[in-house]
Structure 1
């Protein structure tokens, strides 16, 4: 059996899944194309969809003939069809894809999902138990630490966005370089301790009914917004992702610090509005949320 394993969507448990599959005797195939080439494949079929979806599709197409592809799960926000059911929607939009299997990217569900997947692939409970035992150290959660909130003489800004965007260097690399060029130090929400983010996410109004992705973004905002070192808030939405853009626009109204909502596309390196944002956070100008509505 040959199974593809994606490293897109900010995946954190690639080593665990690769080791587990190898212990099962499954041939593991991972993407190798440069991100630009994989994106071009995805964009050719889904030109108007969110950039992270295009990248996932390109990676799947790149793998060619495989028996299945494991795709990391991502928490959805409101009205987020792709976040809720990416592995179901992609085969509906494009015929001929191999079976896509959503896998948890950590947490308590990780081992349970691995056990079910191992049984599905091998039908051998003994082999699955042995494989789980051998990769058990890789399932342990790493020690969580807050990233530094200051760096040299740079002005610190919080960068809030979905992990699928910010934790993927192929998608967020241009934004990191742009902030650096402007003398800003960005503390990215994807680098925050997950447990602290989750705890603050539960403070969201109607948290019990709120989508997991919204609680995660809200928790990250609240974790950084109260830090005195953080002078402004940059909210980054994947390009062509209306659901995340809407959620981040709402979050921008929940901070009293200078805030700006931007779209981030693959390969993008410049955002003209960032210079004005830099001036606001460095000069202490009055803060107001800046999204589509702000300029209306």
Structure 2
């Protein structure tokens, strides 16, 4: 059996699933196309869909002939049909795909699903048990530290958006340089320690009834908005992603600092809205106490 492993820079457990397949002695492959070509393929195939969906579709198609594809299940927001059921929807839009198997990117059901996947792919219970012992240490994902919250001569802004956008340079890589050119230091939500974000998200009203992706966005925004050095919040919306846009708009209304909702497309380098936002946060800061934290302070 040959398995395609869909790697996403937004996923935390790529190493977990790659190691599991290796320990199961299952042959597996990654996408053979560079990100720009995978995105172009996804755009050609599903031209009206959201930016992140197009990238994932291109990566799936670039896997070539495989017997199954493992796809990371990433947190979704309200109304995000693709995020909730990507593996079910894609075969309805594209015929002749191999079986798509969604796998968790953490959570309480990780080992249960890994066991089921292992048995499905190897049909060897003993090998699955040994493989699970080897990968258990990878289940918590890579260690994360709080990013720098201040830089000399820069105003700090929080950049809040879906991991599927901000973690992918091919999609949002132009945003950080654009901020730098205006003397803005961006602290990006996908770089925050996830455990701290989730703890902060518990403060959300009716948190248990809100989709995981929306809780994650709230936790990141709440965590950063509470930092005195953060002058404003930029809510980054993937192009053609109405569900993410609506979720971020709801979140922006909760904030008490200046906010900007910014549409982001692949390859975009110019963001004219940022200059006006820089002026807005500068004006707001004139009446606020000066932050005494030194450049390079961590939370």
TM-score by length of 2: 0.91
Asked whether the 8 Å contact 1:280–1:286 carries over to 2, the reply is: no
Number of residue pairs aligned between Structure 1 and Structure 2? 287
Corresponding residue number in structure 2 for 1:138: 138
Q: CA deviation at 1:8?
A: 2.2
SS in 1 for 2:261: strand
- Cα deviation code 1:52-107 (max 9, x no counterpart): 10000001111111111111111111111011101111111111222111111123
Higher mean displacement: 25-34 or 228-237: 25-34
SS in 1 for 2:79: coil
Alignment of 1:9-158 (within 5 A): 10-158=10-158
Contact 1:9–1:165 (CA under 8 A) maintained in structure 2:
no
2:238 alignment counterpart: 238
Question: What's the counterpart of residue 250 of structure 2?
Answer: 250
Which is further off, 186-195 or 202-211? 202-211
Cross-structure match for 2:219: 219
How far is the alpha carbon of 1:285 from its aligned partner? 6.9
Instruction: Name which of structure 1's ranges 193-202 and 45-54 shifts more when overlaid on structure 2.
Output: 193-202
Query: Distance between the aligned counterparts of 1:286 and 1:58, measured in 2?
Result: 47
Counterpart contact for 2:231–2:285, Cα < 8 Å: no
Listed one character per residue, the Cα deviations across residues 195-241 of structure 1 (whole Å, up to 9, x for unaligned) are 22112212222222111111111111110101001001000111100
1:38-59 superposed Cα distances (whole Å, 9 cap, x missing partner): 1111111111111110000001
Residues in 1 aligned to 2:69 and 2:279: alpha-carbon distance in whole angstroms: 46
Instruction: Give ranges in structure 1 of 5+ residues lacking alignment.
Output: 288-296
SS at structure 2 position matched to 1:135? helix
TM-score by length of 1: 0.92
Q: Distance in 2 between matches of 1:215 and 1:90?
A: 25
RMSD: 1.7
- Displacement of 1:9 in angstroms is 5.8
Change (3 A) 1:140 1:215: closer
Write out per-residue CA displacement over residues 128-153 of structure 1, whole angstroms, 9 at most, x where no aligned residue: 01111222322244444221111232
Contact kept, 8 Å, 2:38 with 2:59, in 1: the verdict is: yes
Partner secondary structure for residue 221 of structure 2: helix
Deviations for 1:110-168, whole angstroms, at most 9, x for unmatched residues? 22221110001111100101111222322244444221111232111001111111122
Larger relative contact order, structure 1 or 2 (CA cutoff 8 Å, min sep 6):
2
Hey, what's the Cα distance between the residues in 2 that align with 1:101 and 1:253? 37
CA distance in 2, matches of 1:206, 1:236: 24
Aligned partner of 2:189 in structure 1 is 189
What corresponds to 1:269 in structure 2?
A: 269
Residue segments in structure 2 that go unaligned for 5+ positions in a row: 288-299
